Amino acid sequence: MNADFRKSVVYQVYPRSFRDSNGDGLGDIRGVIQKLDYIRELGADYIWLTPFFVSPQNDNGYDVEDYYRIDPGYGTMEDVEELIEEGKRRGIGLMFDMVFNHVSTRHEWFVKAMEGDPYYKDFFFFRKGKPDGSAPTNWQSKFGGSAWEYVEKFDEYYLHLFDVTQADLNWENENVRREIKKIVRFWMEKGVKGFRFDVINLISKAAFEDDADGDGRKFYTDGPKIHQYLKELHDATFGAGDGIITVGEMSSTSMENCYRYAGADTGELTMVFSFHHLKVDFMGNEKWVLVPADFGKLKDILFGWQTGMAEHNAWNAVFWCNHDQPRVVSRFGSEGELWKESAKMLATIIHCLRGTPYIYQGEEIGMTNTDFTDISQFRDVESHNYYRILQEKGLSAADALRIVQIHSRDNGRTPMQWDSSKYAGFTDEGKSEPWIGVNANHTKINAAAQTGDPDSVFHYYRKLIALRRELDVISCGDIEPLDKNHPSVFAYRRTYGDQELIVAANFYGRDCEWKGAPCLDGFSKVLGNYAGETKEEDGALQLKPYEAAVWYRETEE
């Protein structure tokens, strides 16, 4: 495990879809243990595991019923302890996913609240409705519908920014914060070396008022006490630990807040996830539409965050994919004959940026979106909700399905494609079927076919990870966007002391010319997704479809 988070790479595992060790159709902790050597071969320093705690699984584990117990579907506490130890033996630290904005309505705290216990009712937001009996505010759940659920017993509503079975915690209550700290310390004592905090910037609510301009997010995003709460959690738990890294998932956040969330000296978090760059194929904040990706906006957002965070000595997590996102090669690249080139191009852009790269399982082999053709094949609660909502708004079932096919979170949740066997090596043939369908292209896109192929997407990721460790300019250097207005080229310069790096990528599947390219005299090409040198004519670079290249030089100071 690399002690310097700037040189580190994190590999995200969604256990439910990673590897099924016992043939029940669900991925599990022992399945992760079985694949530790694969992750070590890739070169990752940390494994981020999405939640595997006891849960009714209404939101695939993000509805936690008990933070101290392992859901039997994933294994046992002994399995988790073995995973931590086996990871440590291979130099891999474990990062656990902690969901502290809300709990499952089956959590003991909420059960006691519903029994009328005033101590536990204050763990949540129970509020009287308006005089006409309607919900306290017009806030909308992120999964669709009202963010309030009526409880007849109390003649009150409780807040759930997500699913109705996910009740928001009241961080204003010091007793809630005390319980959260106990949970973090418990897992630190088990040897956990990192924490990812789910939608952590939503925990401070500003006021309970109607939102005349939208869905309520301005009243609970980056709220008035958020920095106080994070600093308090840092000082009482992971901040006192030995080399523990943390990352906050920041929903609809502002860069100005992230200067503090992930500032080198602010004492809150090591780094942050922001998602603005993954909304360039949205219409505003509306996800469930079909619009082309705005490449110019993508560059503006990524470069804005890169330079802004650098100026304030704050740190980004850099990524394309996770369990909540479509597969990037389908989203911004190609599933056709240029699939490999586009997958490598997209990897180059992210891994040479300033920040800690995150790789989502299967991204390193170029896994694509689902090939589902019927809504019954989808498992995600959000996808089913919006399939219904889109039709209620007047869309046909076929049009609603097409939008779900493009944007569903299930695109990132189909089983990891280990080999070309019937169930892609996720689970053994002859036993239970996987909990969600396997993509038919696993016969061609799979880890077994790539680990032995030096030209594979997998080995390209290995080279990018090795380059980050080798060159301080990647892990520590400044960043300068190049030719931001070019309609096809994504390019930037990194500098650190006497080291200089130029990264250029053609974002599209057609030839392009880069007339604004810098002089490359004295540079050597250290990585590229096409063999040989990149062609130059009359001082312009001629980039092939989806071509990406990295040039490096050292200068005398």
CB atoms within 10 A of CB 529: 24
Active-site choice (198, 281, 380, 410) = 198
Is 378:400 a contact under the CB 8 Å cutoff?
A: no
Answer for the pair 328, 280: CB distance below 8 angstroms, yes or no: no
Nearest-angstrom CA–CA distance, 474 and 457: 20
Distance of alpha carbon 24 from alpha carbon 426, whole angstroms: 11
Point out the catalytic residue in the list 79, 232, 249, 500.
249
Rounded distance between C-alpha atoms, residue 212 and residue 216, angstroms:
8
**What are the angstrom distances between the C-alpha of 301 and each of 7, 279, 287, 304?**
23, 10, 17, 5
Give me Rg for the CA atoms of the chain: 23
| β-bridge partners, 283 | 286
**Cross-strand pairs, 347:** none
Secondary structure of residue 406 in the 3-state scheme: helix
Tell me, yes or no, if 20 is annotated catalytic. no
Q: Would strands 148-151 and 156-159 be described as parallel, antiparallel, or unpaired?
A: antiparallel
Can you list the alpha helix ranges (DSSP code H) found in 107-173? 108-114, 118-121
Q: Hunting for tokens 């980004």 — which residue is that?
A: 316
Closest CA to 136 of 120, 145, 125: 125
| C-alpha distance across the termini of the chain, in Å | 32
The answer to whether residue 215 is catalytic is no
Helix residue ranges, H only, 28-76: 29-34, 36-42
Using CA atoms, how far apart are residues 438 and 449, in angstroms rounded to an integer?
A: 17
Q: Residue holding tokens 């032995």?
A: 452
Around 348, how many Cα atoms within 13 Å sit in the side-chain half-sphere? 30
User: Could you please report the per-residue DSSP string of 234-293?
Assistant: HHHTGGGSSS-EEEEEETT--HHHHHHHTBTTSSS-SEEEE-GGGGTTSBTTB-SS----
Nearest to 121 by CA among 72, 170, 84, 73: 170
DSSP 8-state assignment for residue 317: E
Which residue has tokens 């130890």? 85
Secondary structure letter of residue 95 according to DSSP = E
The residues carrying an active-site annotation are 198, 249
